């Protein structure tokens, strides 16, 4: 079975000699892998290349890269709409960062209760939490929209509340589960020692669990940032004013204006919008790939 907890050490790989017998020719395998890399990266390189092509080259030059690098698409795209893309980026960054904080805080509290504290109906609540893991967000969007609208929070003074309130209430069950699994790996002897020193449940949380849960918090932070940054469905439903738009919603405005002249700027802004995720990937590659073993939930 796949390892579930981030604490589990990577399984030891077999010594190369033992495996060599059943491996194919290494050169052939390498060639196949390089070919797959080319297919996988082609759309990304084409995206960056096109974003740097002039309008004329986009139509005439079918090659991967531009003959002459023209950064003009970036400035044109940045101010393509009445509201600058800088605003959209700020909105997206704010929503994503607040989501990171909300998820980290609320999921950590819930996970501590599930992993360490003994209270009535704990088993039942835990089962309910696992049940919500597979609940598609599309199922709840209509009633949530109605509720938030009834409360006057949709298109209100600060229209991001419907996006953020759920994140501060630990509704991302996946992160709760991830943290519960992590906390199970924290030795209980530490709790006992703190308890003997007179610490109660709050003290144990503050002095033992919180500091030791940092790796799980970092994983949660990275994934909630990327998922929120890329999320489109909820932001599309809840944001209606142009100046409130986040990057994904703003990008769809380019599709409405189907004129050929918008392709360059549209690609330029698409590249920019993927840049934060790409930087996260470069910085935390190992962690992300290892984290996926627990995060297949969303892929």
Partner 1 sequence: MALTTAPDPTRRGPGSDRAHAERRGPGRFRNSEGLAGYVFLSPWLIGLMGITAVPMLLSLYLSFTNYDILTPFSEVQWVGLANYERMFTADPSYWHAVRVTLTFALIAVPLKLAAALGVALLLNRAWRGVGVFRGLFYLPSLLGGSVALAIVWVNMFNRDGAFNSLLSLFGITGKPWVNDPDWALETLMVLAIWQFGAPMVIFLAGLKQVPTELYEAASVDGAGRFRQFRNVTLPMLSPVIFFNLVLETINGFQGFTAAFVLSNGTGGPVDSTLMYTLNLYITGFTDLNMGYASAMAWVFLLAIAVITAIFFSTGRFWVHYSDGEDR
Q: Which stretch binds partner 1 (CB under 8 A): 65-73, 84-92, 104-112, 211-219?
A: 104-112
Q: Which stretch binds partner 1 (CB under 8 A): 67-75, 83-91, 140-148, 210-218?
A: 140-148
Q: Which is nearer to partner 1, 2 or 157 (CB)?
A: 2
> Is 254 among the residues that bind partner 1 (CB under 8 A)?
yes
- Helix axis angle for 214-230 and 263-295, nearest 10°, is 150
According to CB under 8 A, which one of 70, 98, 101, 149 is a site residue for partner 1? 149
> Is 40 among the residues that bind partner 1 (CB under 8 A)?
yes
**Min separation Cβ 12 and partner 1, Å:** 8
**Min separation Cβ 67 and partner 1, Å:** 15
Structure tokens at 177: 């589960």
DSSP state string for 181-195: HHHHTS-HHHHHHHH
Structure tokens at 178: 């991830």
Q: Which is nearer to partner 1, 90 or 133 (CB)?
A: 133
Contact predicate 133/173, CB 8 Å: yes
Q: Which stretch binds partner 1 (CB under 8 A): 68-76, 85-93, 192-200, 213-221?
A: 192-200
According to CB under 8 A, which one of 65, 101, 161, 277 is a site residue for partner 1? 277
Q: Which residues of 286-299 are buried (b: 16+ CB within 10 A; e: fewer)?
A: ebbebbeebbeeee
> Is 53 among the residues that bind partner 1 (CB under 8 A)?
no
Structure tokens at 146: 């109605």
Angle at 253 between CA 251 and CA 258, to 5 degrees: 110
Of residues 196-215, those binding partner 1 (CB under 8 A): 200-202, 205
- Distance separating alpha carbons of residues 168 and 102, to the nearest angstrom: 4
> Is 287 among the residues that bind partner 1 (CB under 8 A)?
no
Q: Give 227's contacts (C-beta < 8 A, 6+ positions apart).
A: 298
């Amino acid at each position: 079975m796949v390892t579930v907890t981030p604490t589990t050490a990577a399984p030891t790989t077999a010594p190369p000699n033992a495996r060599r017998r059943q491996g194919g020719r290494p050169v052939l395998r390498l060639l196949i892998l390089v070919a797959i890399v080319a297919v996988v990266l082609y759309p990304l390189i084409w995206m960056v290349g096109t974003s740097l092509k002039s309008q004329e080259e986009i139509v005439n030059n079918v090659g991967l890269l531009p003959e002459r690098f023209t950064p003009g698409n970036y400035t044109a795209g940045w101010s393509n709409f009445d509201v600058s893309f800088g605003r959209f980026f700020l909105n997206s960054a704010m929503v994503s960062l607040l989501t990171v904080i909300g998820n980290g805080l609320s999921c950590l509290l819930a996970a501590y209760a599930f992993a360490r504290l003994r209270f009535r109906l704990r088993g039942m609540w835990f089962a309910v939490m696992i049940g919500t893991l597979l609940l598609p967000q599309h199922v709840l969007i209509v009633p949530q929209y109605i509720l938030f609208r009834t409360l006057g929070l949709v298109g209100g003074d600060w229209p991001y509340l419907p996006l953020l309130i759920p994140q501060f209430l630990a509704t991302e069950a996946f992160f709760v589960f991830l943290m519960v699994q992590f906390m199970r790996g924290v030795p209980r002897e530490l709790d006992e020692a703190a308890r003997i020193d007179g610490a109660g449940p709050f003290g144990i949380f503050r002095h033992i669990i919180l500091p030791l849960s940092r790796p799980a918090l970092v994983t949660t932070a990275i994934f909630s940032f990327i998922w929120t940054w890329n999320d489109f469905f909820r932001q599309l439903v809840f944001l209606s004013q142009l100046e409130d738009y986040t990057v994904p919603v703003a990008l769809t405005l380019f599709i409405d204006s189907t004129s050929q002249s918008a392709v360059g700027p549209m690609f330029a802004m698409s590249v920019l919008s993927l840049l934060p995720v790409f930087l996260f990937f470069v910085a935390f590659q190992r962690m992300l790939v290892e984290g996926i073993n627990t995060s297949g939930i969303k892929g």
